[in-house]
A and B are shown apart, each in its own frame.
Chain A
């Protein structure tokens, strides 16, 4: 069980984040917790050829913000207006 996972954007940028943070996305979570299936669930590397780097970065930020919020630190999560649409679609895709 690795502590971190690596998320790769369409341009090839690699984001290394905590496993716990990545699991905020149900899609990623079900992938990482599938028993007896994925050869790479041990390595924890996921490529998202459809998600651009700025969006993926924002998503990673969101994961961490979400964890903090659920622990009681109720701050606001700011989303730049120009990212909104893509971000929503990515969130939908990732079931976040």
Chain B
């Protein structure tokens, strides 16, 4: 029985030594004055854990150490990380969250190095049935910190994005780091990012641009409105590259386009004074090109414009015929529009063709050469 006692002593001593090492590590992470780890110390910690693992014939010690690993991280998180997060709010809470996330990762990385033998031996032999040490670390953060704070954090981030949309400068690096927290806590998938953050961002985006659209459509002429749309779309795209996940881009663009272009299409395009027909009448090539550019990516976005184009040709042609003038030049004139503004798109070729067929039929005029 003395052998057992020896073993137990060894285990207790070993664990006490490891515990001291962990305390030192935590002090360093928390920024307290503490000399950095010496190579010898690191080797001793690694060796202690290694020795404890190979002592047991069953996996008893390895299991205990594995459980202790998790417990150490949980205790650190519950007693030191969470309290410091709970006492902060808004942007300060966000900063603290990012800081804590980074510290957590450093902590887990170091701890996993000390416990490395467990990863290689005990975890490996379980063949994927249990989590690796790094995964354990990530899970602790996710379950204890992320779960509690992700909703509050999301609100704070959306507030910042709203501020930026209104023209204020915000800390873009901070938002970028936070988005990364959402992505990383998805543990390999983008679901967490999408469900806990992106979906709310998209909702916010839609309502923001919906109210902008209502205001602008009242105040602005079509050309100015379109300029604004172009500008804001560029800004949103730029926003994505700076701090959102790249997969968000098409989704955000779709929302903006929907609110600013689709919902108000009729009002915008058919505006008597500045809409599509007016632009055609006044030879506004740039504005028409812009219109094409903006509506081209939208499914069925060009159809209404092509229709108005056709109607316009028919009207002009008909009035010319009434004045007994030939309509040949009309075809060339409108071909210019099709090529220069509408990028040779088949829809517009078709619209032009149909318009002239109608004129020929109904106008009763001589064949056009």
Chain A residues close to B by CB (< 8 Å): 27, 30-31, 34, 36-41, 45-48, 50, 93, 95
A30 neighbours in B (Cβ, 8 Å)? 113, 116
The DSSP consensus for interface residues of chain B is helix
Please, how many angstroms separate the alpha-carbon atoms of A68 and B363 in the complex? 89
Tell me the B23-60 residues at the A interface (CB within 8 Å): 35-40, 42-43, 46-47, 50
Cβ-defined contact, A95 with B36, below 8 A: no
A50 and B39 form a contact (CB under 8 A): no
Nearest chain-B residue to A45 (Cβ)? B39
| Chain A CB within 8 A of B120 CB | yes
- Report A-chain residues with C-beta under 8 Å of the C-beta of B46: 27
Cβ–Cβ < 8 Å partners of A95 in chain B: 116, 120
Q: Assess whether B39 is in contact with A38, with CB atoms less than 8 Å apart.
A: yes
Known contacts A40-B38, A47-B43, A93-B117; can you find 4 more A-B pairs with CB under 8 A?
A36-B36, A38-B37, A38-B39, A46-B43
Assuming the contacts A27-B46, A47-B43, A48-B43, asked whether A39 and B120 have C-beta atoms less than 8 A apart, the reply is: no
Pairwise interchain contact B36-A38, C-beta atoms closer than 8 A: yes
What residues of chain A lie closer than 8 Å to B35, measured between beta carbons? 39
Across the interface, name the chain A residue whose C-beta is closest to B46: A27
B110 at the interface (CB under 8 A from A): yes
Specify which chain B residues have a CB less than 8 angstroms from the CB of A36 in the assembled complex.
36
Interface size class of B (residues with CB under 8 A): 10 to 19
A42 to chain B, nearest CB (A): 10
Q: Kindly provide the distance from the CB of B298 to the nearest chain A CB, expressed in whole angstroms.
A: 49
Known: A27-B116, A95-B116, A95-B120. A37 touches B37 (CB 8 A): yes
A47 to B40 Cα, complex, angstroms:
7
Contact of A39 among B37, B47, B110 (CB under 8 A): B37
B43 touches A37 (CB 8 A): no
Chain A positions within 8 Å of B110 at CB level: 34, 37
Can you give 24 A-B contacts (C-beta < 8 A)?
A27-B46, A30-B116, A31-B42, A31-B43, A36-B36, A37-B37, A37-B110, A38-B36, A38-B37, A38-B38, A38-B42, A39-B35, A39-B36, A39-B37, A40-B38, A40-B39, A40-B40, A41-B39, A46-B43, A47-B40, A50-B47, A93-B47, A93-B117, A95-B120
B51 closest partner in A (C-beta): A50
Q: Report the minimal beta-carbon distance from A94 to chain B, rounded to whole angstroms.
A: 10
Q: How far in angstroms is the closest Cβ of chain A from B134?
A: 13
Cβ distance B287 to chain A, nearest Cβ, rounded Å: 56
B residues 231-289 in Cβ contact with A at 8 Å: none
Determine the residue in chain A with the shortest Cβ distance to B42: A31
Interface positions of B from 83 to 114, Cβ below 8 Å from A: 110, 113
Q: What distance in Å separates the Cβ of A86 from its nearest Cβ neighbour in chain B?
A: 13
CA distance A31 to B40 in the complex (A): 10
Chain A residue numbers with a CB within 8 Å of B42 are 31, 38
For B113, the closest partner residue in chain A by CB is A30
Highest count of chain A CB atoms <10 Å: which of B37, B39, B47, B117: B39
Q: Which residue of B lies closest to A95 (CB)?
A: B120
Partner of B38, one of A27, A39, A48, A93: A39
Q: Which residues of B contact A39 (CB under 8 A)?
A: 35-39
Provide the residues of chain A in CB contact with B37, threshold 8 Å.
Answer: 37-39
For the complex formed, measure the closest distance between the CB of B236 and the CB atoms of chain A, giving whole angstroms.
Answer: 37
* Closest chain A residue, CB of each to CB of B43: A46
| Nearest-Cβ distance from residue B28 to partner chain A, whole angstroms | 8
- Contacting residues, chain A, for B40 (C-beta < 8 A): 40, 46-47
Residue of B with least CB distance to A43 = B39
**Are the C-beta atoms of A37 and B36 separated by less than 8 Å?**
yes
CB-CB under 8 A from B43, the residues of chain A are 31, 46-48
CB-defined contacts of B39 to chain A, threshold 8 Å: 31, 38-41, 45-46
Within the complex, the shortest CB–CB distance from A68 to chain B, in Å, comes to 25
Residues of A close to B47: CB separation below 8 A: 50, 93
Across-interface contacts of A46 in B (CB, < 8 A): 39-40, 43
A34–B113 contact, CB under 8 A? yes
